[in-house]
């Protein structure tokens, strides 16, 4: 016997935050999306909603997205009270509607943080991350032909740790999940990925000082070791990087 809810699709009820612009008042608005198929992604379901709204002459819901493959992190939004949703190690675009049941109600909100001012609906301004990155998230490289692979000997442990830190996609889920609105996990990942490698030595001292200083000036809160950032991170960045960032900062401050 065929399940009609599967054959005809599910009905999903949504409570979506609508806000015309950052300075205006916002509110949760109720919507219903019908004929939602199990294999659809969460963003495809929102696309269907927007098609319905446009056909009715209403304004579509604004939300960020790009790769839709869990790589870029721009799809970040709070789904059912959790950044990127309740699925561990998953970006919003990777969520499939088979995780929900016919008739479920889902609340969708933007990331909430002082340093992420709201632009419209579910879209926030995360350019503060870019400004932090420009303060030290780079390495000095000599131009010319590629060096021999054995010129710099790097242990597997160091290479693995650097790669683990480098998987951070800068989505901001760590900030949205932190009760203090701290960007420590993001900044520590960017500092750690270079601190493990000899290529990061030329900017080592000023990198920690300048990136942490920029983080503070952007209005992010301080880390108080709640650990929510690690739990919400779609790439499972470890909070051990925060301890490494603090060591790098203290050593740089003494040298400075």
The arithmetic mean of pLDDT across residues 60-75, rounded, is: 96
Q: Which of 44, 50, 51, 66 is nearest to 18 (CA)?
A: 50
pLDDT in tens, 5-27: 456 799 999 999 999 987 789 99
The arithmetic mean of pLDDT across residues 54-61, rounded, is: 98
The arithmetic mean of pLDDT across residues 165-178, rounded, is: 98
Number of Cα atoms under 13 Å in the Cβ half of residue 74: 12
Are the C-beta atoms of residues 94 and 4 closer than 8 Å to each other? no
Has residue 256 got a pLDDT over 70? no
Mind giving me the DSSP string for 132-148?
HHHTT-------SSPPP
What is residue 7's predicted lDDT score, i.e. its pLDDT?
62
Q: Annotate 137-172 with b (16+ C-beta within 10 A) or e (fewer).
A: bebeeeeeeeeeeeeeeeeeeeeebbebbbebbbbb
Q: Which residue has the higher pLDDT, 199 or 118?
A: 118
Percentage with pLDDT > 70 across the chain = 96
Segments making up each domain of the chain, as ranges:
4-118, 126-140+154-255
pLDDT in tens, 103-156: 999 999 999 999 999 999 999 999 999 999 999 888 887 777 877 767 778 999
Whether domain 126-140+154-255 has CATH 3.20.20.150: the reply is no
What is residue 61's predicted lDDT score, i.e. its pLDDT?
98
Q: Which of 136, 126, 124, 122 is nearest to 214 (CA)?
A: 136
The arithmetic mean of pLDDT across residues 61-69, rounded, is: 97
- CATH code of domain 4-118: 3.10.20.30
What is residue 5's predicted lDDT score, i.e. its pLDDT?
45
Rounded CA separation 143/51 (Å): 49
Paired tokens of 198 = 């000899």
Sign of the dihedral defined by the CA atoms of residues 125, 246, 86, 162, in that order: positive
What is residue 183's predicted lDDT score, i.e. its pLDDT?
98
Rounded CA separation 35/1 (Å): 19
């Amino acid at each position: 016997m065929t399940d009609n809810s599967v054959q005809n699709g599910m009905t999903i009820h949504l409570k979506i935050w609508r806000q015309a612009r950052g300075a205006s008042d916002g509110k949760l608005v109720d919507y219903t999306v019908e004929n939602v198929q199990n294999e659809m992604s969460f963003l495809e379901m929102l696309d269907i909603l927007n098609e319905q709204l446009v056909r009715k002459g209403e304004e579509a819901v604004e939300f960020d997205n790009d790769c839709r493959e869990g790589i870029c992190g721009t799809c970040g939004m709070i789904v059912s009270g959790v950044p990127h949703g309740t699925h561990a190690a998953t970006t919003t675009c990777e969520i499939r509607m088979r995780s929900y049941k016919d008739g479920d109600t889902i609340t969708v909100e933007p990331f909430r943080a002082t340093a992420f001012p709201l632009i419209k609906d579910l879209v926030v301004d995360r350019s503060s991350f870019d400004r932090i990155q420009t303060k030290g998230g780079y390495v000095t490289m000599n131009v010319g032909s590629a060096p021999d692979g054995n010129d710099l000997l790097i242990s597997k442990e160091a290479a693995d740790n650097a790669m683990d830190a480098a998987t951070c996609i800068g989505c901001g889920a760590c900030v949205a999940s932190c009760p203090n609105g701290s960007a420590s996990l993001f900044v520590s990942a960017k500092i750690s990925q270079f601190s493990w490698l000899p290529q990061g030595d030329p900017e080592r001292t000023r990198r920690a000082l300048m990136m942490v200083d920029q983080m503070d000036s952007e209005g992010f809160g301080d880390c108080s070791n709640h650990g929510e950032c690690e739990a919400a991170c779609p790439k499972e960045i470890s909070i051990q990087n925060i301890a490494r960032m603090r060591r790098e900062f203290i050593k740089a401050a003494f040298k400075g």
